[in-house]
Structure 1
């Protein structure tokens, strides 16, 4: 999951150069919903949505709220900085919202893991914030709000995973959220037939393939299973691993610098992941 989601940032940015970002997000999740539905029908899984109002709220938070802001923000801000904001805030928001709902405990070890992970992120991308301009800062603020929306939706979703197969829940959250993106795209970006023509652009086609098949069908399905079995906080620990992937992609395809700050930062982040996961293993052993 960390590998998949670490690879989606660049295609998202590139595809947004061919079509408006929120329109792109809408198409992504409409397509993903169709793929989820086909899988469910082939496997003969139940399609009924349990607790429909909770499903609707989670869908609007996870898909509509998060991805309208995320795609819009990434289109205006550097990809690396956007990933920093998203990945550093995700575990913080997950544990805080989870604690508010009584799903997570705020322990010293978890606070330490969060602090260590954020420190690693700062070290990993040290010296890169100077490239942010006014427009980019607005985009980064949108990414921050998107992260909160996603974390909130993930916590709301967890009780649903005990009553519904993760794939079924993924279908409903993806499809309902995609329908919610339709009016948002119309209000923010307007309607233009050229948007659909833009979907035939190579940048949009490749971006959608990676975002739909990898990010939605692969990464999101794995994430729902992890939230169900691990809880929102531990599932969110991909935030400390995905930047390693982002750095590797940057070095390989964008000639980004890689030195001691990046190497040390990755080591610190992996240590943070190990620290938090160790608590989970110890708790399981005691139970």
Structure 2
């Protein structure tokens, strides 16, 4: 999951060269929905749920709200700072909101892991925080990124009871379909209507980007994510925030000749250490309990 989501940044950037970002997100989820549906029907899974209202709320939070604010904010703030805000706040909001819902515990180990992860993110993106954004309002962009992060974290937390009562694949279908439909009016409001947007979908860059985003980012990685939310809880599933950036930066270095030095290398090591610290918590607790 972390590997795939780390690899989707470059295709997303390439596709955004020919179609607006929120429109791209809407098309991604509107295409992913039917793909999830085909797999669910092939497995004989029922699409019914007694908690459809909760499904709608989770869809609007984890898909529509997140991508609307996130894309709007990234367009108005340096991408390095946006990444630090989004990825460093994600585990904080996941454990905080999860604790409010009685799903997570705030422990010293988790606080330490989050602190290490944030330090690693700052080092990893230290050379990417000063990009010029002429004619924009970076502070409002970063606030929007933070709001989008809250939306995703909140949606992930309220999705966990749904994953316990229905297959994650079916939930992924509903969240992609509902969230994608709701992104359409958001795109029209912010980006406007232009037939060129649809024409851009047939550009090779858009086809490449959407193929990776739909089949990799959604059909595989998001399905895995919801399964991990069910089995691990939102906080541990959200630790991709400390792994995916390493993949994304590595891809940028290899294919886009982006800078890489000691700060990035140390940052990667610290982020992996933070992830290991969090993922080892359950095993350590079990060992202590059995002793």
Same fold per TM (> 0.5)?
Answer: yes
SS, match of residue 131 in structure 1 = coil
1:128 deviates by 2.5
Residue pair 2:124, 2:265 contacting (<8 A) in 1 also: yes
Q: Structure 2: how far apart are the matches of 1:79 and 1:266?
A: 18
2:257 is the alignment partner of 1:255 = yes
Q: Structure 2: how far apart are the matches of 1:259 and 1:194?
A: 41
Residue pair 2:79, 2:129 contacting (<8 A) in 1 also: no
Partner of 1:120: 120
Q: Structure 2: how far apart are the matches of 1:215 and 1:79?
A: 20
Q: Which stretch of structure 1 is more off in the superposition, 181-190 or 220-229? A: 181-190
1:75 deviates by 4.1
SS, match of residue 258 in structure 1 = coil
Cα offsets for 1:26-60 (capped at 9, x unmatched): 11100000100010111111111231111010000
Partner of 1:244: 246
Q: 2:182 aligns with which of 168, 180, 183?
A: 180
Q: What's the TM-score, normalizing by structure 2?
A: 0.93
Q: Which stretch of structure 1 is more off in the superposition, 130-139 or 221-230? A: 130-139
RMSD, aligned α-carbons: 1.7
Q: What's the TM-score, normalizing by structure 1?
A: 0.95
Partner of 1:214: 216
2:45 is the alignment partner of 1:45 = yes
Query: Residues 148, 247 of structure 1: CA spacing in aligned structure 2 closer, same or farther, 3 A cutoff?
Result: same
Q: Which stretch of structure 1 is more off in the superposition, 118-127 or 230-239? A: 118-127
Q: Structure 2: how far apart are the matches of 1:186 and 1:235?
A: 33
1:179 deviates by 1.2
Partner of 1:73: 73
Figure out how many residues of one structure are paired with residues of the other and give that number: 287
Query: Residues 78, 11 of structure 1: CA spacing in aligned structure 2 closer, same or farther, 3 A cutoff?
Result: farther
Partner of 1:88: 88
Q: Which runs of 5+ in 2 are unaligned?
A: none
SS, match of residue 127 in structure 1 = helix
Partner of 1:166: 168
Q: Structure 1: how far apart are the matches of 2:68 and 2:204?
A: 22
1:23 deviates by 1.2
Q: Which runs of 5+ in 1 are unaligned?
A: none
1:140 deviates by 3.5
Q: Structure 2: how far apart are the matches of 1:264 and 1:152?
A: 31
Residue pair 2:90, 2:153 contacting (<8 A) in 1 also: yes
Q: Structure 2: how far apart are the matches of 1:265 and 1:136?
A: 28
Residue pair 2:73, 2:142 contacting (<8 A) in 1 also: yes
Partner of 2:153: 151
Q: Which stretch of structure 1 is more off in the superposition, 198-207 or 223-232? A: 198-207
SS, match of residue 130 in structure 1 = coil
1:104 deviates by 0.6
